[in-house]
Structure 1
Amino acid sequence: MKKAIIDVSGNNCSAPVINTAFSFKPFIDSLRKRANEEKTAKKQFFDIVLQEFAKADLENKELTENNLHAYEHLLELVYACQSPTMSGADEVIWGLCKPMQPLIVYSTDTLHDLMIGLVEKDKQKPVTKSIEDYTNERLRVIYGFILKRLYHFESVLRKELYHIHTDPGTAAERYLEASINTDFIEIIPLRELPVIKFRQLKEYISENMGFEMLQSLLPLDMFRFRGLAMITVTDVTGRQAVENIKKIRLTRTPGNEETTYRTVTRSLKMLLCNDKIEFDFFPFVRVNDKFVFGYEKGGTGVLYNVWGEKTLSPEEFQQRAHSYSIDPQSFYSRDIRQEDLTQYSFLASFITQNVTSLALLPLFRNQTVVGIVAIHTWGEDVFEVGTMAMLEPAIQPIALLMQVYIDEFNLEIEKIVKEKFTSIQPSVQWKFNEAAWHYLRAKKKNLPIMETEPVHFSHMYPLYGAVDIRNSTIERNQAIKHDIDHRLGLLAETLSALRAIHKSSLLEQMNFSCKTWQKVTEQDQLTTTEENNLGVFLNNEAGKYLDHLAGAEPRTEEIIQTYFNTVRDAVSREQALETSMQLLNNAINNYLEAEQQELQLSYPCYFEKFRTDGVEYDIYIGQSIAPDKPFSHFHLRNVRLWQLSSMAAIARLTHSLLPGMPVELRTTQLIFVHNNTIDISFRTDERKFDVEGAYNIRYQMIKKRIDKVRIRNSQERLTQPDMIALVYFNKKDIEDYLPYIQYLQETEILEYEYENLDLEDLQGLTGLKAIRLGVKLLH
């Protein structure tokens, strides 16, 4: 124990002047009452302590910090009464203070060393509080005690005292909570206490204005404080670390995942008292109830490196995550480098990342796996299995955080679906809001209501455009055939190599089937049935047989594994084709998305895209879509100019992507010009807008039949790469476009030469005409 006097105020404030002194009387009175009530063996101890105080005859004497230490044996008895029986002095952070003063006069070694360190640290810090702030903090404590003791008023002025301390041994941060026990202080009013209106006082205190009122009603010089105050410091790191994680869930904002995980990691390190242990978090997100990558690295990124998209294909990840969700198991190893990798093959990926100790814990929410947390160390640092038990209080809060991320992921998916894939666009949202309000109003008033109110727009001008990828079907068939030929060739070579070291009837039958399929693929094009059957043969029959053979005959394992590796690593022509098509479609979609936002600024219009092997779109514009905004023919002309110029821009854009395509693909651009208005309405069964009336339906029919139309008396397709085709019926239909064609020619966007063409008759359609324009490409 230490008899040193420590001023923990740091001399940073002018202390309020109060009449205070040490006295053992309140403690002796309390101990005497306790001894009379005690029925256990503690009563003998309390009686002995009371006898020692009686010998000293100090019950009615006042002491100061200067003479208190002369009675150290009594101070030790006070400590013995207040501390846990089996705890040593080095385990308890406890001390005696002067009543209502920040002055420690007697303490355990742990409290003494802690306070000396804090006082020295405070001296080195810049002063951030004013003298008034410090004084008010002291007044808050003093008046809180007065109001509670004399008026039985629980003041909201009292505050918990926390301090963040860095443990020199572990370098981890610790939360320390200091509590002051004022049970052994008596307060003696020197004159009659005034009546206080506590309702008014509460209002003042809530606005931090109560001190002036209190000082006028209850000046400090009317009180005497006598007794002993006791300070106990408790390590509440575990509780505070868990609270920090809970608070993050309530206060975080989407998009700041990195900051969130950093704060969680810091809190967990505090909980474990170890700055060397690292954490990584991997939420399980689903789309259509199937596991998908979440694209968020949580913590160190170890789990993302092992199970992320750079390591696993989406299908492999989905399979592993699904298997784990069925039987989620915890894992712990003090040193994964010492584990049997034949039993725990997944550890190899962690070893390559310099992980040593590793624990994997599944996280649950409503009995569903929502993610995994990895606890690990780098290099030579390790942790023991007991560490996992220390984490128990934080597991559920972390699981809730994973659920928050999953919910945000789902909301983001829902938002994209609403924005990109439904027909309720901002330009028509008002109509749906109106219909919904009519429905709600009728429902609340118990009026007869229809299931849904029709959402209808009349006299709309339609504009249709299509950007198609040239010969996409032919290219896809050729790519599929190329990949099948290549894989059958690899299988034939592998089976031939296996026959040299292994003999079996099943191997001979598999070799015969492979040769038969190679003959089938020599034809120009496979039927859908043949493609399906061939896929079953390669993936199921041959694949499963080779897996079986590798397990049953060790000599074949190397050859078979080489086959599987080659198949896995082979660059699929079909994949290359899909990559090129995706590149084109993404570029076109992004362009149209950006452009249509600008288009809406002139006049609201309904703009809907359709994904085919390219991109098609419908635009509807007219007065009924924006009743409060006058519509004129100039608005329609503006959209038509945009349509023509945007098709030229798309032709240039897609041509510029050729060098970056694994398979070179070109696009054709088509516009159907329709000069009459049509009516459209929302079809609730298909959740999309469609045309109304027989004449309007004819417009839809024409759109679907002109994509592959040929020039009359020719086998030549109208649509050609890097060109724009305008299809129409009457010359009057394209009058608006002719000035725009000339304008774009003079601005070096379109070629000067263009073709006027008659088109072949289609089923139910005759008299179609077209203008075909060349686009000046950028080189």
Structure 2
Amino acid sequence: MKEGDNIKCTLSKIPFKVSLSFEYLINDIEKIASDLKHPMNLMAQQVISMLDNKPELKKAEIDLSSLDNNHEILNKLMAFVINPLVNQEELSAVFPPFAWEPFYATEYFKKLFLDPVKTNYLVSHILPEEDKMLVLVLFHAYMLILDKIYGIDLYQDKPLTFKLEDDKTKLVRFYSSRINSQYINIIPSEKHRKLSDEELKTLVNVDNDLDYWNKMIPLENYEFRGMMKIDYFDVTYDYVISQLKSDLLNRSTIITNSGFEKVKGWIKSLIENAELEVGLIGITDFKSSYNKNFIWKSIVPYEELSCEDYAGSIYEEAFVNQKIIITDDFNEQPGSKVVEAFLRRGIRSHVIVPLVVDDTVVGALEFGCAKPGNLTMIQVKRLLEVFPIFAIAINRSKTEWNDRVKAIIQKEFTAIHPTVEWKFKETVQNLLNAESCESDFRVTEPIVFNDVIPIYGASDIRGSSIERNKAIQADLTDQLMMVKDILSSDKILNDIPLVSNLFFKISQYLKSVEEGLKAGDEMAVIEFLKSEIQPILNILKERDNELRSIVDSYFAKLDPALGVYYNKRKDFEDSLTMINDHVSDILDKEQVQAQLVFPHYFEKYRTDGIEYNAYIGQSLVKKLTYNKVYLNNLRLWQLLVMIKTARKVKEIQESLKTKLDISQLILVHSAPLSIAFRQDEKKFDVDGAYNIRYEITKKRIDKALIKGSKERVTQVGKIAIIYSYAEEIEEYKRYIDFMIAQRFITNKVEDIELEDLKGASGLRALRIEVDFNKLSSEGIDKAKYEEFIGLDH
């Protein structure tokens, strides 16, 4: 069984007889010869007269070999079929019925199709696959039978499209054929049976089953006699435009090399230039930091011209003005990186076409040619119809690409700070390009920022561990006492001997908690209360109605989620959370303004307090120029935020159920360092052995003591500025004088030496005292601040 266009057909060859005959053409010529008014009357008479001497051409079945010696009369006969005036311009040929070798054709047809050596053309797809070709022939035959025998005109000619390819240039042209069957007659055999109207009605509704048709109208019962004329039309433009539109609907066409090579072939055919070079780029501007993405198929490779190199060139002009720009000869253009790059590649003439979606440029098509002045607007406008489709394809693909990049960033890196997001996009896009966007994508390229200055700060809940232990002790003591009170009844002790042992354990646990919690004590008490006490209490309330309300009252006091008494601990957690929420909220709001001054990396962590890391430097940003004044701004900003934080925590003291306060510190580090993203931890960390000292100092500095004392450097109401070198602190002394003048801090400033820490020695600190006489959360006057720091310039 063969399948052609989903049509059922088990025939393997043409079952009917075919024969070449001129009798039906001669009949028409005879009519013309008898019509004295017909413009070809004299010619018709001449042909009829010549045919009298050529009986072999008047036979019902003509042997093709008989045409070899009858060229003159054949030409005159065919003049009634094909206009001789179009012999050099039109593609027409005459064939025996359902044959594919013509016995007569125009000179243009012969040149194009029958002389491939001379024209360099190779005929391709002139015939479909064998089974599909058979289906087309059978379909055509049945339509002729219905028309000429049954008078039913259902035939709709299905043009056959094929291509010609120049063997040297590889340029292709596409042609469509139309069959003229007026000189074909059908001769039924004796076995022919005419179908009823009902049978015909059934037949025409089963158009996909040629086996059924052959059962109803067996084709071996018919002979097709005469000849058929086929006209061919150049449909290159319509065909290529249609194919381009279809290809561009495919999401992978402009992404894959094979898809884009196919597109370039279509464009070369339309512009009729085999040497044409084609480029496609999907960008929004030439200053973007991550423009090199998957749609960067420029004529000049990215290695020779990066996207930034195109800034200020004809490309940017085309983008800004949204117009096509043609360069006739790069040799006549002022020198630039772009001009020099094209001349190195031998490109003299060039066209850049901006691609626009909703009045926004999303990319560009470009064409280049070695010959000067070889590209014209007329050629380019042959593609005008598909420019919007290219734009939509780029826009769609870019959206999908960006979605994929975001998904990979989210999977591989989790949340990324906006300041450095560009770097992660660049990394992912480069790796996607290199690894063909496979599903087993893994980030292997390190993400490092060099020469950045760190900013570290911490607002720690003072004595949080002590207060947490006090709350745990109080809650456990209260719960044990409640249980002890319930079980202390003589009735219970007498009725259930086991309770005496539990009563003893409760006393032991109370003593242990009172003396101070050690590691594991809390969990041991909770496990005892849940596994040993709770079952007994449930038994007691089921056995004794008098105890039911007492036991139920006990359970009602327990936290429903944790199953323990959670009173003082809840007060502590609520108070700690309130402080942290306020500190975090201040940092978040102030960070918005700080980022506007100059983008920098910032991350904060919540523990028993809030600590944060910030990094600032040129490598973190693109399209902006870093200056030390931005570091000065960030350092002063940090101090002012800490003052604001201290005042806010002082302000909310009365609303705290557990009295907690904060101590704050800043670690100054002026030497540039490198930070790298740690894939396993999903966070940035300092990079390099030399910079490890900074990380060690950060982790231990909050426990640092003033040298020769037991006093911690961090104290409530004060801010400790830790530093290593005298040069580092000079800048801060200016800030301190400024803040004293603004009454943000008192004039009590201490310069103290710290005890050595393991891995960090020689540290000192300036300790300043926050002025709480002014609890307003208003910030410093913006104009004074910018003037002081130098931002007003």
TM-score, normalised by the number of residues in structure 1: 0.48
TM-score, normalised by the number of residues in structure 2: 0.47
Rg: which structure is higher?
Answer: 2
